[in-house]
Chains A and B, each alone.
Chain A
Amino acid sequence: MFKINKVFKKPHYLTLQQNNLQEAQKEKNALPAIPNGLWIKCKHCGETIYNKDFNANHKVCTACGHHYRMNARERIDLIMDTGTFKEINTDLKTVNPLDFEGYEEKIADTIKKADIAEAVVTGYGKIHGNDSVIAVMDSNFMMGSMGSVVGEKITRAFEFATAKSKPVIVFAASGGARMQEGILSLMQMAKTSAAAARHDRAGELYVTVLTDPTTGGVTASFAMLGDIILAEPGALIGFAGKRVGEQTIGQKLPEGFQTAEFLIDHGFIDKIVTRDNLKLTLSRLIKLHYS
């Protein structure tokens, strides 16, 4: 029977669909299921692929080309010439400025689990022989969120590069500002942008590589300030996260909303680069500015 109230009912299903989409996206980005360690099933295309091939392909599905997330060490191995990378500012320790319950434990736990000291690794080295300062964010560490230590390390990386007249490459991977540090995290957006400004005014090159996911306060600060902004295929990139987005229900989301492809169509990034081309692209860009 035709029900008039169904016609005028608020389309709640849209929200659900949106959630489902994002859930699916989340699943897609999780590591593929590993049944026995030898073979894995791509959660994106469903194809069964050889695990060794997947890793040799830098975590890109050999069947469909879906780019899975990399941790900071894997990213550094991919980009930097073997043996050239030197990490800087390794001794900064996170504190609990709001006395947020469980924060210290969470940090200690994550350090153990993710085997990394904080959500960003900074340092310098060579990319096909070209000097560069790099900052690599790691989404395994509290979703790459930016608190005081992340902000300070990125700021110091810019200052180091400015002093040495070197380019900066930032690999962004972050859910945004870290809530547990409250307003201090918000201020890191200002601090990192200010350091990027100084590096910029000194005439140095700044390239950002937006990887899955780049959202919130990181998108709204240094990630979007590169002279050249690259992104990996399919990466989630946006400002407002899922929960904030939920408040704007009723708005139909455009196709591919908040993906790298969506951003390039709207003019906010320069180029989508597949992982196999990333190192070469970066080295060529540096060479064009420093030789």
Chain B
Amino acid sequence: MLEREKDIAELSMKIEDLRKFAQEKKADFSAEIMVLEDKLQQMKSEAVINLGPMDKLILSRMIERPTALDYIEKVFDGFIELHGDRKFRDDPSIVGGIARLGNMPVTVIGQQKGRNTKENVKRNFGMTSPDGFRKALRLMKQAEKFRRPVICFIDTPGADPGVGAEERGQGEAIARNLMEMVDLRTPVISIVIGEGGSGGALALSIADEIWMLEHSVFSILSPEGFASILWKDSSRAKEAAQIMKITAQDLMALKIIEKVLPEPPGGAHKDPDGMSAVIRENLLQVPFGAMKEQINEVVERRYTKYRKTGAYLE
């Protein structure tokens, strides 16, 4: 929970206490209560204004934050989940399948974090294994064949760094997705809904447009990892978050992403339906039909976008 959310909870408890106290003592504290309630309203509306990068990082990782499946259910109709990479197994950290966006069939792929500890263990905390990336690629190639747009939901601390992932070629799996997605001959939209961690997020983000929810983050590595590598001190994560340019707003300014989707007051977790409606409205505005007609130009634009990344002098 964010510091300011704690403050809000504390203040509302205090107001409640004061009310009870006033009732018990039959005393009139209404003026004081009104002042406090004004203050509470103000705090609530400011709760997610001027959030720093570290606040956003915490918010993006909150267990209450809606996950890929929450959005998939609300944004699309008739989702049919499809499983497995056809090579080794079904990675539960990736969900994917076919659904309808309005009247149009689309392929939906999402990195799925758990909504509680038990599910998080099953989902490997959203850390995708090579099998998950291969499953995602299989579904994308299927989408290409049937000319369905691909919508990806990004939410991962990073690719699975475990022994099994290394044994099954984590590096190769990510690399293959980058290479294949860049000229996938169907439109691709990737939406960062929470944590966009490192190569594990990049492997689903080679898209015509990358969107980020207002309080989501996307980074080369977690700020903890960044601080640990560069300063040998992971406790300096806040400092790292400050300079890394991990927020949607910073990445928009850097032209790494195309759109920031506003979150409901208090953050996406306060109103998943409202957030889903925003995602849906934005997706419905994408000219998928025209993009499919001009797929050569779309693929060329996608290539050029990634070709132009980087900062150097010549």
Binding site for B on A (CB under 8 A): 91-95, 97-100, 147-149, 151-152, 155, 177, 179-191, 193-198, 200-201, 216-217, 219-225, 238-240, 243-245, 247-248, 251-254, 257-258, 266-268
Contacts and interface: CB of A to CB of B under 8 A. Distances in A.
A247 B225 CA distance: 10
B31 interface: no
Given A95-B311, A195-B307, A251 B178 contact: no
Q: Chain B contact residues (Cβ within 8 angstroms of A): what range?
A: 35 or more
B306 A194 contact: yes
B172 interface: yes
Contacts of B225: 243-244
B313 A190 contact: no
B313 A92 contact: yes
Contacts of B219: 182-183, 186
Interface string B83-118: 000000000000000000000000000000000000
B243 A98 contact: yes
Given A183-B245, A186-B202, A97 B221 contact: no
A249 to B, nearest CB: 11
B303 to A, nearest CB: 6
Contacts of B170: 220, 239-240
A193 B182 contact: yes
B299 to A, nearest CB: 11
B86 to A, nearest CB: 16
B200 to A, nearest CB: 9
A151 B307 CA distance: 10
Nearest to B164: A251
A97 B219 CA distance: 14
Nearest to B313: A93
B312 A238 contact: no
A179 B220 CA distance: 7
B199 to A, nearest CB: 5
A266 B243 contact: no
B153 interface: no
Centre residue among B162, B163, B198, B220 by max chain A CB count within 10 A: B220
B188 to A, nearest CB: 13
A219 B303 CA distance: 21
A95 B313 contact: yes
Interface in B202-251: 202-203, 205-206, 218-221, 225-226, 228-230, 243-246, 251
A94 B163 CA distance: 35
Contacts of B169: 224, 266-268
A224 B174 CA distance: 9
B245 A187 contact: no
Q: Lowest 7 A-B CB distances belong to which pairs?
A: A240-B161, A219-B171, A148-B310, A193-B178, A187-B309, A220-B174, A93-B313
Nearest to B251: A183
Contacts of B230: 100, 179-180
Contacts of A184: 254, 309-311
Contacts of A253: 163
B314 A224 contact: no
Interface string B284-305: 0000000000000000000100
Contact of B218 (A147, A183, A220): A183
Contacts of B203: 220
Given A196-B179, A221-B178, A268-B172, A258 B166 contact: yes
A223 B243 CA distance: 29
A99 B243 contact: yes
Contacts of A251: 162-163
Contacts of A196: 179
Given A197-B179, A220-B174, A248 B311 contact: no
Given A188-B309, A240-B162, 15 more contacts: A93-B312, A149-B312, A151-B310, A183-B218, A183-B256, A187-B309, A191-B309, A191-B310, A194-B179, A200-B179, A216-B199, A223-B175, A239-B161, A244-B158, A251-B163
A189 B177 CA distance: 11
Contacts of B180: 197
A151 B178 CA distance: 14
Contact of A94 (B168, B246, B312): B312
